[in-house]
Chain A
Amino acid sequence: MNDDELRNAVPIVIGILERRGADFSTAEDAVQDALIEAFRTWPVNEPRDMQGWLITVAWRKFLDRVRAESSRSAREEHSFALTTDAATTSADDTVDLYFLCAHPDLSPASAVALTLRAVGGLTTRQIAEAYLVPEATMAQRISRAKRTLAGRRLNRPGNISAVLTVLYLVFNEGYSGDVDLAAEAIRLTRVLAASIDHPEVSGLLALMLIHHARREARFSADGGLITLGEQDRSRWDSHLIAEGIGILQTALAREELDEFQVQAAIAALHADAQRVEDTDWPQIVEWYDELLRLHDSPIASLNRAVAIGEADGPAAGLAELRRLDDSLPRYFAVEAHLRERAGDDDVAAKLYAKAAAKASNLAERDHLVRQAARLNSEH
């Protein structure tokens, strides 16, 4: 069974059910029911026409749900018109679902969960495992999200940046389980990019591809974090990098610059350097300036200080850093790095230890402890 093929069919089948008169919430539940049945029965008895099977079973599940609901509430029997609007295609339906699931009335966590289920075709259990929450909690989060959407009209073209934010969150914040969320985010962004011609969709796809290309090199055999400068660049996936850079260049040529294209450009400059000392830091600083012009954020300023430290030396980096708020995440890690480059090892060791105490995840904390240990044991 090809999981991707099955998952690609999920938003299409939801769209087909809706055009047959089903409401989004029940249609989505029905397709989820059909999906779970597919996982159960297909390994023994795989249908020749997967999408046809999914439509038939989902429609039956939908009618079951409606009948159960009507007999409970003694409401009138629903009637469904089997009409097909020739003007809409299944690609349009799928794009509509991206916008609906990223509706600004939803919290980011709800939008992510709903997108993964309705657009991504994942089961509630898989999503729950990926975010380390009980399945019942994730099921509740999804049904609350659908209640929030009930009655909301979808005014396309919706807010594309809300959709991109959700996809970026899926890419960036997956934890565990048997589903590779980073790969899933790339798959969903590819589908979107194939349906919508928008430079920021391309920018996000390029950013994801270039980061994904470096994934194997980011962790050592025993799970320790390896920073960009220390990575074995021969382990980077050059095909993914080339694809990402190609997509980015086409997007940049349209001269509608925005955040994701800039972030992808910075990632591309790192990816271009065969050795860390070949990195074009002055150009990276320019892109950070561009990023701050588009969207002033303290995190971008902090990253810019790192780039300045590389381009103009640690003293210049530290001068930039002093203009920022020291409560920023990773502030002390950056200061430690710059102090070490300035030759101030004792101060750097203390700062690494301080940064470790403030780290927000174990991989980063362990890395910072190792950095402190390295400097302390050199004396």
Chain B
Amino acid sequence: MAKYLMLKHYTMAPEYMQYTPMEEWTPDEVDAHMNYMNAFVDRLKETGEYIGSEALSPEGTFVRYDGEGKPPVTDGPFAETKDLIAGGMIIDVESYDRALELAGELSAAPGAGGEPIREWLELRPFMGVTPNTTD
């Protein structure tokens, strides 16, 4: 088994952002989207492939150490940030192909007009454990 993170973004480069924002859908379309997401999670729980998911608020702060005895410096939030993470779902699957398949399904959640949203997700493998047989 291998763990993957399916990352969602609030903002990405413009060529990846070509879909209608959710508040411009109809309420029924919003409901349909939420129901699809919930059903997706339920199905992954049944197959034993679901680890967890978390959502992040869009507004964050950049923080950096600023020397002994001084409070950390902060900056942001940067409205113009090209790549803003919205959250993600962690799955534990047999293969890369299975991870691709699931990410594809998640990206097919219905959006405006009931059409698949075709949202770009970022699929990132977790670093695995060091096998006991390498040395």
Q: A interface vs B, CB < 8 Å? A: 222-224, 349, 352-353, 356-360, 362, 366, 369-370, 372-374, 376-377
Contact = CB atoms under 8 A, between A and B. Distances in A.
Given A224-B31, A224-B34, A349 B57 contact: no
A366 B58 CA distance: 14
A263 to B, nearest CB: 27
Interface string B18-36: 0001111111011100110
Counting contact residues on chain B (CB < 8 A from A), the size range is 10 to 19
Interface of B (DSSP majority class): helix
B31 A357 contact: no
B55 A370 contact: no
B59 A374 contact: no
A362 B55 contact: yes
A369 B25 CA distance: 9
Contacts of A358: 57, 59
B23 A356 contact: yes
A222 B31 contact: yes
Contacts of A224: 31, 34
Given A357-B58, A358-B57, A362-B55, A376 B31 contact: no
Given A370-B27, A376-B24, 19 more contacts: A222-B34, A222-B35, A223-B38, A224-B31, A224-B34, A349-B23, A352-B23, A353-B23, A357-B58, A358-B57, A358-B59, A360-B57, A370-B30, A373-B22, A373-B25, A373-B27, A373-B29, A373-B30, A377-B27
Interface of B: 21-27, 29-31, 34-35, 38, 55, 57-59
Interface centre among B24, B29, B55, B59 (most CB of A within 10 A): B24
A359 B58 CA distance: 9
B30 A376 contact: no
Nearest to A356: B23
Contacts of A373: 22-27, 29-30
15 contacts: A222-B35, A223-B34, A224-B34, A357-B58, A357-B59, A358-B59, A359-B57, A360-B57, A366-B34, A369-B30, A370-B31, A373-B22, A373-B23, A374-B27, A377-B25
A362 B86 CA distance: 12
Contacts of B23: 349, 352-353, 356, 369, 372-373, 376
Contacts of B27: 370, 373-374, 377
Contacts of B31: 222, 224, 370
A35 B45 CA distance: 30
4 closest Cβ pairs, A-B complex = A372-B23, A377-B26, A353-B23, A374-B27
Contacts of B24: 373, 376
A366 B30 contact: yes
A349 to B, nearest CB: 7
A366 B37 CA distance: 12
Contacts of B35: 222
A223 B42 CA distance: 14
A130 to B, nearest CB: 16
Contacts of B26: 373, 377
Contacts of A349: 23
Nearest to B35: A222
Contacts of B38: 222-223
Contacts of A357: 57-59
Contacts of A223: 34, 38
Contacts of A369: 22-23, 30
A374 B30 CA distance: 10
Nearest to A361: B55
A357 B34 CA distance: 17
Contacts of A372: 23
Contacts of A370: 27, 30-31
